Structure 1
């Protein structure tokens, strides 16, 4: 029987992820996930693909207060920013005022701004959720001749156990019940250089893309040719999902 083994929330995209025991899922994604992100002076997304400097930091956001490391401040929105997201889309946001530009610029070593997406989960890439099987991560490790690979480096919304390696690849357009929610699985997730970084320290410590390509090759997804690992999913019915919940065909 398949079940949820992990859940991932990243309030500020590019920072260290949190792994709560439960999440609330809405049509746009997990409540609080990827609501904030960083942009450079030109308004382009400044993510973990560009730097690992932020992966040692974890954010929390509650009661309209954002906390990162020892910095804590109410979220005060300033001027609008139309953020360039990988040249795939533009995301309407507003700059977050207060200590954040100085704080994150010091960490990055260059000017960056913290922005708040106007829409819920505005910092997600394409679809509301992502799924990845634990067996798929174990297969990557086996193919690479490693004892294990830390699944956290993939920052997937829902990790699950109890299926064969890469079983999720065959689920496109299928619907699944998971906890109190219902999701529809989409196509494969193209991976980027962020997966090569240690999920805690940010150093490049594993040639993830090279290893995945070595046994899975390059394939075509909705964003074109890429190195794929895990799948997207959309929310059909919102609800609460907990670690340990059964994942089953609807």
Structure 2
């Protein structure tokens, strides 16, 4: 199998950043993946004592399809978050300043309108990631798994609906489910697969139109008997992963 796309999402729920390569570190996910989130006013997130919270506490596609209308870009070197959406004044917010963080939060609150549960705030804490599971991991999907679902329902499904970190080609549909509890080699790294990725209502949202125009959860259950697409893997040995790199399950004999 071969790496076809590497993606991270600097702000939970917002636009992807497509990468040609990434350096992974043992015990961590992709650097700066889900580093920020816009938390609803009633979200019990404490940056001084960060803990994992369910996605409903944040602006996210599962609850707010309109979020897909936002075009965002994160410049980590400059510390600038660009936010764009039709009908909204463009904003380039310096997230290293209180004024910039407040401006970004006010922009999102205005954009969310009645869907905002009070003024949203920009959430961040050193070392914390606003991922869908508490464990720090890399999410991987086989493109042939997506293709198998497309063929069952007769509809093209942009893999971006599933917001994985790594998309790979080759292999049988859902072959990745057979790696649970096993190790894989991904480029110059070694990972342990520990969990299938159960899909949520975020996958209903078309990333290009912000419309709920598909039912991947229901279709997966109807045609395959589960609601899973992709896997989570823990990084055991860090290193570089680049487009075109191989993904290979580690043979049992190599594990000793």
Asked if 1:213 is matched to 2:221, the reply is yes
Q: Distance in 2 between matches of 1:9 and 1:202?
A: 19
Conserved? CA contact 1:131–1:159, under 8 Å: yes
Farther-moved stretch of structure 1 (209-218 vs 60-69): 60-69
Asked if 1:17 is matched to 2:21, the reply is no
Shift of 1:96: 7.4
Residue 8 of structure 1 is matched in structure 2 by 7
Residue 108 of structure 2 is matched in structure 1 by 104
Asked if 1:130 is matched to 2:144, the reply is no
1:62 paired residue among 52, 71, 76: 76
Structure 1, unaligned runs of 5 or more: 79-94, 219-226
Shift of 1:46: 2.5
Residue 73 of structure 1 is matched in structure 2 by 93
Secondary structure of the residue that 1:213 maps to in structure 2?
helix
For this pair of structures, how many residues does the alignment match? 223
Query: Structure 2-normalised TM-score?
Result: 0.81
Residue 91 of structure 1 is matched in structure 2 by none
Conserved? CA contact 1:64–1:75, under 8 Å: no
Farther-moved stretch of structure 1 (55-64 vs 229-238): 55-64
Residues 79-98 of structure 1 correspond to what in structure 2 (within 5 A)? 97-98=101-102
Residue 236 of structure 2 is matched in structure 1 by 236
What's the CA shift string for 1:27-70, capped at 9, x where partnerless?
22111110001111101223111112222322213125132233
Conserved? CA contact 1:16–1:200, under 8 Å: no
Shift of 1:249: 2.3
Conserved? CA contact 1:32–1:61, under 8 Å: no
Structure 2, unaligned runs of 5 or more: 44-56, 84-89, 251-256
Shift of 1:234: 0.5
Shift of 1:149: 1.6
Q: 1:177 to 1:17 in 2, by over 3 A?
A: same
Secondary structure of the residue that 1:19 maps to in structure 2?
strand
Q: Distance in 2 between matches of 1:99 and 1:183?
A: 39
Q: 1:130 to 1:178 in 2, by over 3 A?
A: same
1:185 paired residue among 180, 193, 211: 193
Farther-moved stretch of structure 1 (68-77 vs 173-182): 68-77
Q: 1:248 to 1:41 in 2, by over 3 A?
A: same
2:209 paired residue among 198, 201, 204: 201
Conserved? CA contact 2:206–2:212, under 8 Å: yes
Q: Distance in 1 between matches of 2:18 and 2:208?
A: 13
Q: Distance in 2 between matches of 1:205 and 1:137?
A: 16
Q: Distance in 2 between matches of 1:58 and 1:74?
A: 13
- Across the aligned residues of Structure 1 and Structure 2, the Cα RMSD in angstroms comes to 1.8
Query: Structure 1-normalised TM-score?
Result: 0.83
Residue 49 of structure 2 is matched in structure 1 by none
Conserved? CA contact 1:117–1:123, under 8 Å: no
